[in-house]
């Protein structure tokens, strides 16, 4: 093993890489048909295995404003969902609850607009609760379990410690911290920045 | 002393109140003349003694976008300054350095537009570094000094610990933590929320 590879391996034993998620949308197969006239098509893979950024984009419309050209992530899901930051919520005139992705309980709705039509979601607008995707191997190494909450110290321009950060463990995951853009900007995140789990 | 007053007094010995600062502008007397044809006029006082929100508002224009109806804070200063969040910077197409208010070194400029004219600032667009305004009495009680950096734990919906938070001590201050809106939303701030200094 050369020095660079060794350095990377040591770093990965101590730190977790941070990623910032911009506003994005998940839709169902039926909603893809209504919005685009066809299923989603992959543009490029995301860090989580099997997940991709779609070529297709939508406009998200709220009572006070709209965002055009919003990313749609594939593959399609069983329920439509819009993930925005609290700052985005002010622009749209929507106050999303802070929930883990997939939990749309008691969330407000929004309208999606695509080249072939519009879809109104009665609910599904959330602010994604910060979380760490982790492989079972990394979870064992860091001594954490699925659904455990940890503190996460960021080594960033504006350093801080995120409390109440949920660990999600699955063999389908790659190990990354997911922050929204309020959190990313609050800590001065730059791509490649690292964090450390404090238990 | 009644129970409520006693509770407030005990709380103030342990916690510091958080405030979120939205995007805003400071201008000189000459710039006020150019933008509005007169000096700033106070609309309401701010938490810091002598500071006020002006009736006058400006449009801030960057290479990629603009914000209309931006707050101007008075009284006038010796140098124009625009304080925005990093999220705002993306909208304007400007990357501000994270500086304490008043430090405009190496900062980019922007154009301000008012009802009577425009002013182009060659520099002065910053992202305000988080800080705690503190009276000398509170500084003595918390055991901190002017310019010291502390950790600040927030008791908010999305709790976190801001590292590298600068304490500013002056008899002209009232004791409040100042966050920008990225930081406020990252911690789920609501008006009245409290923080605790960790040294």
**What CA–CA distance (Å, rounded) separates B98 from A183?**
15
* Best CA proximity match to A182, nearest among A162, A155, A152, A153: A162
Q: Which of A16, A66, A7, A52 is nearest to A179 (CA)?
A: A16
Contact A87 B181 (CB under 8 A): yes
B193 reaches A (C-beta below 8 A): no
Alpha-carbon distance A185 to A181, whole Å?
6
Which residues in chain B have Cβ-Cβ distances shorter than 8 Å to A163? 153, 159-161
Closest-CA distance, A68 to chain B, in angstroms, reads 13
A interface mutation test: which of B151, B182, B190 has the most A CBs within 10 A? B182
Check B164 against A158: CB less than 8 A apart. Answer: yes
DSSP letter (8 states) at residue A159: -
Contact between A182 and B87 using a beta-carbon 8 Å cutoff: yes
Residue B5: predicted pLDDT: 87
Looking at chain A from residue 14 to 53, which residues have their Cβ under 8 Å from any Cβ of chain B? none
User: Worst-scoring range by mean pLDDT, A50-64, B3-17, B156-170?
Assistant: B3-17
Identify which of B96, B111, B101, B84 has the alpha carbon closest to the alpha carbon of residue B173.
B101
Residues 6+ apart with CB under 8 A from A144: A134, A150, A167, A169, A197, A199
The CA-atom distances, in angstroms, between B102 and each of A46, A79, B22, B99, B159 are 41, 49, 17, 8, 29
State the pLDDT at residue A179. 98
Q: Give the closest residue to A25 by CA, choosing from A11, A17, A15, A36.
A: A36
**Alpha-carbon distances, residue A94 vs A32, A45, A46, A162 (angstroms):** 23, 30, 27, 24
pLDDT in tens, A104-151: 999 999 999 999 999 999 999 999 999 999 999 999 999 999 999 999
Is B85's CB within 8 Å of A130's CB? Answer: no
Mean pLDDT confidence for B55-61 = 98
CA pseudo-torsion sign A98, A102, A104, A108: positive
Task: Please measure the distance between the N-terminal and C-terminal CA atoms of chain B and give it in whole angstroms.
Answer: 31
Whether residue B185 and residue A182 make contact (CB cut-off 8 A), yes or no, is yes
Q: Do B160 and A160 touch (CB under 8 A)?
A: yes
CA–CA distance, B49 with A148 (Å, rounded to integer): 45
Tokens of B131: 């800080």
Q: Is B196 on the interface with A (CB under 8 A)?
A: no
Instruction: Concatenate the DSSP letters of all residues of A83-95 into one string.
Output: E--HHHHHHHT--
Please determine, for residue A65, whether its predicted confidence score (pLDDT) is greater than 70: yes
Q: How far is CA B175 from CA A38, A56, B103, in A?
A: 57, 49, 21
Q: Do A85 and B185 touch (CB under 8 A)?
A: yes
| Residue A128 Cα, gap to closest chain B Cα (Å) | 11
Residue A1 pLDDT exceeds 80: no
A87, B87: Cβ pair inside 8 Å? yes
Q: Is the pLDDT reported for residue B162 higher than 80? A: yes
Average pLDDT score, chain B: 96
Contact status of A149 with chain B (Cβ, < 8 Å): no
**pLDDT band for position B199 (50/70/90)?**
confident
Q: Which chain A residue has its CA at the smallest distance from B186's CA?
A: A183
Which among B152, B149, B142 is positioned nearest to B184, based on CA atoms? Answer: B152
- Tens of pLDDT, residues A85-111: 999 999 999 999 999 999 999 999 999
At A35-61, the pLDDT tens digits run: 999 999 999 999 999 999 999 999 999
What is the predicted ipTM?
Answer: 0.87
Nearest-Cα distance to chain A for B74, in Å, is 26
CB-based contact B58:B35 (threshold 8 Å) = yes
pLDDT confidence tier of residue A12, bands split at 50, 70 and 90? confident
Do residue B161 and residue A164 have CB atoms under 8 angstroms apart?
Answer: no
Chain A: residue whose CA lies nearest to B180: A186
């Amino acid at each position: 093993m050369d020095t660079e590879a060794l350095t990377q391996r040591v770093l990965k034993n101590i730190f977790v890489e941070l990623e910032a998620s911009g506003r994005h949308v998940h839709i169902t197969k039926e909603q893809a048909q209504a919005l685009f006239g066809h299923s989603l098509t992959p543009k490029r893979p995301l860090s989580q295995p099997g997940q991709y950024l779609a070529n297709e984009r939508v406009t998200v419309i709220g009572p006070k404003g709209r965002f055009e050209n919003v990313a749609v992530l594939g593959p399609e899901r069983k329920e439509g969902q819009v993930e925005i930051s609290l700052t985005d919520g002010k622009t749209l005139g929507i106050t999303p609850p802070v929930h883990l992705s997939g939990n749309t309980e008691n969330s407000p709705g929004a309208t999606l607009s695509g080249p072939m039509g519009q879809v109104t979601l009665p609910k599904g607008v959330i602010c994604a609760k910060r979380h760490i995707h982790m492989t079972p191997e990394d979870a064992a190494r860091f001594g954490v379990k699925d659904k455990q909450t940890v503190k996460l110290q960021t080594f960033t321009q504006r350093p801080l410690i995120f409390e109440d950060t949920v660990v999600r463990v699955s063999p389908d995951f790659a190990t990354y911290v997911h922050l929204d853009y309020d959190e990313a900007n609050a800590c001065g995140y730059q791509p490649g920045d690292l964090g450390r789990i404090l238990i």
